[in-house]
A and B are shown apart, each in its own frame.
Chain A
């Protein structure tokens, strides 16, 4: 059998972030309107493989996903071995804007899931001029901790095993096994304490409940798509955010969970493609 290759290419970007040099892995596929993709906590850009391999998306969009520092094939900054990783709203905002600028993207469409969906709300509020449209997946304004996060990073619990197991029920019931377990594998591969450090933003620092209603969708269109089976960011929480923002469009995706683009790319694309068409027509 002859080998085949996906139309995805990857590069390592060297960029100063927060005053320190970083080596950041960036993947992309396609040509056209830039579509900048943000992965979930404790995972990496491979979650967007379905979009990057679908000609219906890549024929009109340059799809770009970077692994956040500490994640996937991106490195933690030098000195990491003596630090505790904790993602903050300020760092996350800076990271997205600086990487977008370094790639020379002209007002990309932003799509982010979970923590990526949360920072999408922050960016919609604070930097609407930088994006042509913003798509938040599994985006809620806040999530209360519902388990002891310390279990994600302690030497008597295997980090990869527990991170995969913590999120396994967040995958929807209809996800194909191949994609379900690929999604969980990414979690099992995360570095020690990285998922926990991302959740510092998700569950503590990134609370935007008090400000989310100030988002002005006339400055940047906002779409929120959430899976029915997500108990981390429930459909009710997404609907509450959407209902508080005039002009925000919302879709509840039946049968899907917390990782729509990765757990079931085909089912997700049925919801995403009409949204991309609508953005393209604006």
Chain B
């Protein structure tokens, strides 16, 4: 499912436009599986699954598979509906150079919400 992030994000012209000054690689950890997501000027150019020997990224977002599944459900329950809600509950760890994450917070919230079940709100 995570691989579809590339197509889902790149198909949203508004999202890509808002990310036009964003070029980075971030690490997404879903339970025991990790992914490196490479972004160039707002477009996702690759989504690569681990395990990695020496993953290099600007920042990492780590949560359990169970927490991500709730976040990606069609109507997430209270406390699971937003990245900041997960961070508040201490179940999502954001680590690394968070200036990249925070300066494009709307982009990352909306990009990751693209993995929600079809028809769900961003």
**Chain A contact residues, CB within 8 Å of chain B:** 146-148, 151, 156-158, 161-162, 164-166, 168-170, 173, 228-232, 234-235
CB-CB < 8 A to A162: which residues of B?
102-103, 105
Q: CB distance A157 to B103 under 8 Å? A: yes
| A151-B98, A162-B103, A173-B75 known; A168 vs B82 contact (CB < 8 Å) | yes
- Is the CB of B119 closer than 8 A to any CB of chain A? no
State whether A151 and B102 are in contact (beta carbons under 8 Å apart), knowing that A146-B87, A165-B109, A173-B75 are contacts in the complex. Answer: yes
Q: How far is the CB of B70 from chain A (nearest CB, A)?
A: 13
Which of B85, B99, B105, B121 is in CB contact (< 8 Å) with A231?
B85
Give the dominant DSSP class at B's interface. Answer: helix
Q: 1/0 per residue B87-119: CB within 8 Å of A? A: 111000000001100110110010000000000
B97 to chain A, nearest CB (A): 11
Q: Are A228 and B78 closer than 8 Å at their CB atoms?
A: yes
Residue in contact with A147 in the complex, picked from B82, B84, B99, CB distance below 8 Å: B84
Chain A to chain B contacts (Cβ below 8 Å), 15 pairs: A147-B84, A148-B98, A156-B99, A156-B103, A161-B103, A169-B84, A170-B82, A173-B76, A229-B81, A230-B78, A231-B84, A231-B85, A231-B88, A234-B79, A235-B78
Interface size class of B (residues with CB under 8 A): 20 to 34
A161 B89 Cβ-Cβ under 8 A: no
Residues from chain B with Cβ under 8 Å of A235 in the complex: 78
Query: Across the interface, do B105 and A169 meet the contact criterion of CB distance under 8 Å?
Result: no
Q: Judge if B36 is at the interface, Cβ distance under 8 Å.
A: no
Q: Is B60 an interface residue (CB 8 A)?
A: no
**B105 contact set on A, CB distance < 8 A:** 161-162, 165-166
CA distance A172 to B14 in the complex (A): 22
Q: Indicate whether B25 reaches chain A with its CB closer than 8 angstroms.
A: no
Residue B83 is within 8 A (CB to CB) of chain A in the complex: yes
- 1/0 per position for B56-89, CB-CB distance to A under 8 A? 0000000000000000000110110111110111
Apart from A158-B103, A165-B109, A173-B121, 7 more pairs, CB < 8 Å: A147-B84, A151-B99, A156-B99, A169-B109, A173-B76, A231-B85, A234-B79
